[in-house]
């Protein structure tokens, strides 16, 4: 296992600071935790799942129109999954992420919701399913999950803790593949 982009490192970046916060830091952190546990349970790569989950809503934009939240208009024009996929990919590549992993994160973000897709069914891989389900686990009526508050200090602490757990799982998986 070579160089890994950690969650605290990801958190510090100005792109994360601007765009993850816009869609709600508390939601991003909560979904990252859900994704970690689901991925661990299902033998999906925990690092990829947590990163995709943490960045899944980073494509949100245009929250208000004339100072007012217009949910119907927003929904009709929403492409946040597309924007988020691209944004997360660019960010991860900049931080030196493995290209294959950056792509997997981007596609998982692209497919975390199907609200913008024609037709109803998306055939998701286990990783993509983990990210979509993790998001659903944290959803609140009326989009309230985007407005829950979390301080930077709290987020940093939680992400550091999650990153430690990710490291432990990766180490255990590594040892299972390459026994000492
Ligand atoms: Fe979303
Ligand atoms: Fe979300």
Q: What is the pLDDT of residue 1?
A: 44
pTM as predicted? 0.92
How many angstroms separate the alpha carbon of residue 84 from the centre of ligand 1? 9
- Position 77 scores a pLDDT of 84
Mean pLDDT of the chain: 91
Rounded Cα–Cα distance for residues 70 and 48 (Å): 33
Tens-digit pLDDT profile for residues 81-117: 999 999 999 999 999 999 999 999 999 999 999 888 8
Ligand 1 geometric centre to CA of 130 (Å): 14
Query: Which ligand approaches the C-alpha of residue 111 most closely?
Result: 1
User: Could you please report the per-residue DSSP string of 42-73?
Assistant: HT--HHHHHHHHHHTTTT-----BTTB--HHH
How far away, in angstroms, is 56 Cα from ligand 1 center?
6
**The pLDDT of residue 71 is above 80:** no
HEC string for 76-132 = HHCCHHHHHHHHHHHHHHHCCCCHHHHHHHHHHHHCCCCCCCCCCCCCCCHHHHHHH
Instruction: Please provide the CATH number assigned to the domain covering 7-175.
Output: 1.10.3210
- Res 39 pLDDT > 90: yes
Contact 58/84 with Cβ under 8 angstroms? yes
Task: State pLDDT tens for residues 146-166.
Answer: 888 999 999 999 999 999 999
Angle between helices 46-55 and 99-110 in degrees, nearest 10: 50
Distance 176 CA to ligand 2 centre (A): 33
């Amino acid at each position: 296992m070579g160089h890994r982009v950690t969650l605290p490192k990801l958190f510090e970046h100005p792109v994360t600071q601007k765009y993850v916060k816009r869609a709600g830091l508390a939601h991003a952190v909560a979904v990252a935790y859900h994704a970690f546990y689901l991925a661990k349970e299902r033998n999906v790569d925990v690092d990829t799942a947590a990163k995709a989950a943490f960045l899944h809503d980073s494509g949100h934009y245009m929250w208000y129109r004339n100072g007012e939240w217009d949910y119907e208009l927003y929904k009709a024009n929403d492409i946040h999954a597309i924007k988020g996929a691209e944004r997360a990919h660019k960010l991860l590549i900049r931080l030196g992420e493995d290209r294959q992993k950056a792509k997997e994160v981007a596609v998982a973000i692209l497919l975390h919701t199907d609200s913008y897709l024609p037709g109803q069914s998306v055939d998701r891989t286990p990783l993509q399913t983990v990210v979509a389900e993790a998001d659903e686990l944290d959803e609140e009526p009326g989009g309230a999950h985007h407005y829950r508050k979390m301080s930077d200090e709290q987020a940093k602490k939680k992400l550091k803790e999650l990153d430690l757990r990710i490291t432990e799982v990766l180490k255990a998986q590594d040892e299972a593949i390459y026994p000492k």
